[in-house]
Structure 1
Amino acid sequence: MKYRIESDFLGDKQIPNNAYYSIQTARAVENFPITGEKTHPELIRSIALIKKAAAKTNAEIGLLDESVSIAIRKAAEEMELGMWDNQIVVDAIQGGAGTSLNMNINEVLANRAHELLKGTKEGQSVVSANTQVNMSQSTNDVIPTAVHLTLLNMAGRLCAVLKRLHEQLVIKENEFDDVIKMGRTHLQDAIPIRLGQEFGAYACVIKRDLNRIEKAVQQLNTISIGATAIGTGLNARGDYREKIIDYLIEETNYPLENAENLVDITQNTDRYTEISSTLKILAINLSKIANDLRLLASGPLTGFNEINLPARQPGSSIMPGKVNPVIPEVMNQISFQVIGNDHTISLASEAGQLELNVMGPVMVSNLLQSFAILTNGVHVFSAFAIEGITANVEHCRELVESSVGIVTAINPHVGYEVASKIAKEALATGVSVRSICLREGYLSEKELDIILDTKEMTEPGIAGLELLRKTVRIS
């Protein structure tokens, strides 16, 4: 490989001739061989968009030569298309509050703009990464603004798949509305419930999650572009701040606005912790649903076996015919990761000092990952698990009829003491609660039909209340 020599105030360094990045990027690559993960492509796109808007704004207010502005904007448009992703080489987690990432992009755009102007990448660049590409900017307003734009995009996709999941759960709620089964508390038989009611509860909690996330991400429309280093706006003119935000609104269609207090938005990261907390709550709820589905589908012969999950792949390298609940399992694991990410984000947010939180890279890396894996996970959870669930209707009913749990429905009509006696005998002999009631004359066939009706047990109505008024048989 051939190299060129570049210099900065720290000294000289060899840079590969085919690289569009320069010396600051090379130093960062050397300093931060941390995760092996590069910058998220969507964050690169957002930063490139800001650089394009900045170049256009700086030219319009008379600070940047028009030809240089056009070259930078052309290079930034190429970066938005992903043409230079392989040149963004700094690690996702880095010291310096994102300066390495900002400079990596500045250097690539400067060298590409030079190439566009001169027809060659060779020679001393006529476009400065710091003076021209980074004009009127600081890492500390560019990166947070880019993060906000990226998260708005990612939140839109997450909310879309959550809406689809909610729709599928509502479909299952209606489909399973007449499927009676045993409800369980403490993993022990409790009282009957309809399978549709269980899925309706899942739909409700996902709807709340969706509402929480949509509300939390609205604050991302408030950005800090023009705040520069610490929120005082040094080196960024007032007309620059006004114009660049107009261009970003035009490009993104988001209702963006600059923060009222630029010092506040520069030093505080509570927006990230609030959004992350909504993702954590979502993850907890998704994991709980996944746990339920794995239990309800367990067996099939020695478990609950009340529902059937779609068979997605063979489940064992040694046991023929075994099929595992792999989609709920991966949903659990995604949830664990998101919960851990939230803890990291909380620690990093607390670790800020004075005018800047330098822990931004780890916050952003974890937040972007949470959005990405939740979006992918919810999609497969909905498409490969929820949509194809079927109910083992007869098995569910048999478990209800053979369970002592239905004695709770009889309790108000015969009294707790008699109901306890019935339950004890049913458990000891295996004789059904209905049979004992009829044999002992506690209740008639007609009364039992009303009391043990599917809807009556799971959604008490007028018939049961009328019966309770007339036939309380407590001795």
Structure 2
Amino acid sequence: MEYRTDRDSLGEVKIPKDAYYGAFTGRAIIQYHVTGKRSHQHLISAYTMIKRSCAVANIKCGVLDKKSGNAIISACDKILSGKFQDQFVIEEINSGAGTAFNMNSNEVICNVALEILGKKKGQNEFLHPNDHVNMSQSSNDTFPTAMHVAILLNLKETIPAIDVLIKSLNKKAKEFSGYKKIGRTHLMDALPVTLGSEFAAYSTSITKAKNSITLAIKELELVGLGGTAVGNGANTPRGFRKIAIAELARISGLKLRPEQDMQHSLQSKFAVANVSSAIRNLALELNKIANDIRLMASGPIAGLSEIGIPAVHAGSSIMPGKVNPSLAECLNMVCFGIIGNDTAVANAAQGGQFELNVMLPGMLKAVLDSTDMLKNFLPIFSRNLIDGLSANEARLQQNIEKSPVIVTLLAPKIGYQKSADLFKESLKTGKTIRELVTSKKLLSDKEISALFK
């Protein structure tokens, strides 16, 4: 491999000749070998849009010459079109506050811009990653802004996936509305409900969780770009912040607005922790639904067997014909991951000191991982499991007739104590409540049917 020699504030670094990153990145890729995964595509896009927006603002504010600024803008446009993606080599977990990724972005954009200007990569005397691409910025305000933008971009793809599940649950609620079944509390028989009402309640839970995420998005739309190192806007020209954020909102298609307290924006990660907790709460609801489905589908002989699940693949490598609730189990594992990610975010949110939270890359990785899992898997879960569920009407009706708990519906007529005695007798003899009440002439069959209805 051929190399060129780049310089940074620490001295000279050998860089692969064809690489568009520079000295800072060259040092960083040696130090930050953690997950083996490059940073998220939405972070690359977010950072590139930020650098482009800042170049526009710097030109308009008169601190960056048009020739250099337009080269930076053109370089960003090339990256946003899908080129040079492999040059963003910094891993998703890197230096505190994301300085390594910021510099990776600065260097790639700078070298692409140098070639646009007819220069060679690394000729930073003509265009510099810090002095020009990073002008009026710091890692401390660009990475938090990029976090918000990247999460918002991922949520734009996640919300429709949640809507797919809500639609599937509503469809099943309607389809199952006529199927009565025994309810359960404490995992024990309880008063009857309908299978449809259970699925309607699931839909309500997911809708409420989605609405909480939507509310949390409002906080993410407030960004601290222009705060530079400590939130006081040092080294930014007058008007820069307003222009840069407006331009970023325009090219990202997001409703971004300046955070009024820039110092808060750098030192606090409330907005990220807030949306992470909302995503976690969605995972709690999803987990409960997955568990219910696994229990209702258990069997087919020795379990509840109230619903049938579609066979997406063979359930066992040794037991022929076995069908497992594999997609519900997969959703369980997705939810466990999301809950763990939120714990990481919660710890990172309180892990900063004074004017800066330095745990940003870890927080961002956790939230993007969670939203990636949701946007990828929820449509599959909805389409291949929920949509294919069927009701076992015979088992549902049999359970209602056999369960002594339905004596509760007769208690207002015959009294609590007599109802309790009937409950015990039903369990002991195996006779149904209907049979016992009729044989004891406590109520007529017509009266019993009316109460059960």
Q: Distance in 1 between matches of 2:188 and 2:256?
A: 52
The 1:321–1:407 alpha-carbon spacing in structure 2 relative to 1, beyond 3 Å, is same
CA contact (8 A) 1:111 1:125 kept: no
**C-alpha separation in 1, matches of 2:243 and 2:80:** 21
Residues 52 and 72, structure 1, Cα contact 8 Å, conserved in 2: yes
d(CA) in 1 for partners of 2:100, 2:59: 25
Q: Aligned with 2:76: secondary structure?
A: helix
* Cα distance between partner residues in 2 of 1:199 and 1:379: 17
- State the Cα distance separating 1:124 from its structure 2 match: 5.7
Equivalent residues of 1:41, 1:82 under 8 A apart: no
Q: What whole-Å deviation, never above 9, does each CA across 1:41-69 have from its counterpart, x for those lacking one?
A: 01100110111111122122222221222
Alpha-carbon separation, structure 2, partners of 1:345 and 1:96: 14
Question: Relative to structure 2, which stretch is displaced further, 58-67 or 23-32?
Answer: 58-67
- Name the residue aligned to 1:471: none
Query: Which range moved further: 222-231 or 111-120?
Result: 111-120
Partner of 2:291: 291
User: Is it true that 1:180 corresponds to 2:183 in the alignment?
Assistant: no
Q: 2:203 maps to what in 1?
A: 203
Question: What is residue 24 of structure 1 aligned with on the other side?
Answer: 24
Partner of 1:388: 388
**Deviation sequence 1:116-173 (CA, Å, 0-9, x none):** 1116547566221000111111111111111111222222222222222112212211
Structure 1 regions of 5+ residues with no counterpart?
Answer: 454-475
The one-character-per-residue Cα deviations of 1:172-223 (angstroms, maximum 9, x if unpaired) are: 1111111011111222222211101111111111111011110111111111
The equivalent residue for 2:65 is 65
3-state SS, counterpart of residue 385 of structure 2: helix
Residue 251 of structure 2 is aligned to residue 256 of structure 1: no
Q: Which residue does 1:246 correspond to in 2?
A: 246
Amino acid paired to 2:98: G
- 2:40 corresponds in structure 1 to 40
For residue 4 of structure 2, give the secondary structure of its aligned residue in structure 1.
Answer: strand
Q: Verify the 8 A CA contact 1:434 1:448 in the aligned structure 2.
A: yes
Q: Which amino acid aligns with 1:398?
A: Q
**Superposition TM-score, scaled by structure 1 size:** 0.93
**TM-score, length basis structure 2:** 0.97
Counterparts of residues 24-423 of structure 1 (less than 5 Å): 24-118=24-118, 120-121=120-121, 126-423=126-423
Q: Secondary structure at the match of 1:97?
A: helix
Match of 2:14, SS state, is strand
Tell me which moved more, 282-291 or 13-22: 13-22
State the Cα deviation string for residues 234-265 of structure 1 (Å, max 9, x = none).
11112211211221222233332211111111
More displaced 10-residue stretch of structure 1: 6-15 or 264-273: 6-15
Asked whether the equivalents of residues 45 and 82 of structure 1 are also in contact (C-alpha less than 8 Å), the reply is: no
Query: In 2, are the aligned partners of 1:110 and 1:125 still within 8 Å (CA)?
Result: no
Distance (Å, rounded) in 2 between the aligned partners of 1:123 and 1:338: 45
Deviates more, 1:444-453 or 1:119-128: 119-128
- Cα distance in 2 between the residues matched to 1:64 and 1:216: 36
CA contact (8 A) 1:45 1:81 kept: no
Matches within 5 A, 1:428-439: 428-439=428-439
- Matching of residue 449 in structure 1 with residue 419 in structure 2: no
Instruction: Name the structure 2 match of 1:460.
Output: none
In the alignment of these two chains, the number of paired residues is 453
The question of whether the paired residues in 2 share the 8 Å contact of 1:221 and 1:255 is answered with: yes
* Residues 23-81 of structure 1 deviation map (CA, whole Å, 9 limit, x = unaligned): 10011111111111211001100110111111122122222221222221111112122
**Partner Cα distance (1:384, 1:269) in 2:** 37
Query: Contact 2:61/2:237 (CA < 8 Å) preserved in 1?
Result: no
Partners of 2:394 and 2:63 in 1: how far apart? Answer: 77
**1:450-469 correspondence to structure 2 within 5 Å:** 450-453=450-453
Give yes or no for contact 1:179–1:195 (8 Å, CA) kept in 2.
yes
Instruction: Measure how far apart 1:402 and its partner are.
Output: 1.3
In 1, Cα distance between equivalents of 2:162 and 2:256: 24
Stretch of structure 1 that moved more, 276-285 or 66-75: 66-75
CA separation in 2, counterparts of 1:248 and 1:88? 20
Q: Alignment partner of 2:239: what SS?
A: helix
Aligned residue identity for 1:44:
I
Alpha-carbon distance in structure 1 between the residues aligned to 2:245 and 2:97:
23
Between stretches 372-381 and 117-126, larger displacement belongs to 117-126
Q: How many angstroms apart in 1 are the aligned matches of 2:41 and 2:295?
A: 38
1:299-345 CA distance string (max 9 Å, x none): 11211111112211111111111111111111100100111111111
Larger relative contact order (Cα-Cα within 8 Å, sequence gap ≥ 6):
2
CA distance in 2, matches of 1:111, 1:375: 35
Report the 3-state secondary structure (helix = DSSP H, G, I; strand = E; otherwise coil) of the residue aligned with 2:431.
coil
Percentage of identical aligned residues:
39
Cα gap change, 1:260 to 1:121, in 2 (>3 Å): closer
Post-superposition offset of 1:377: 2.5
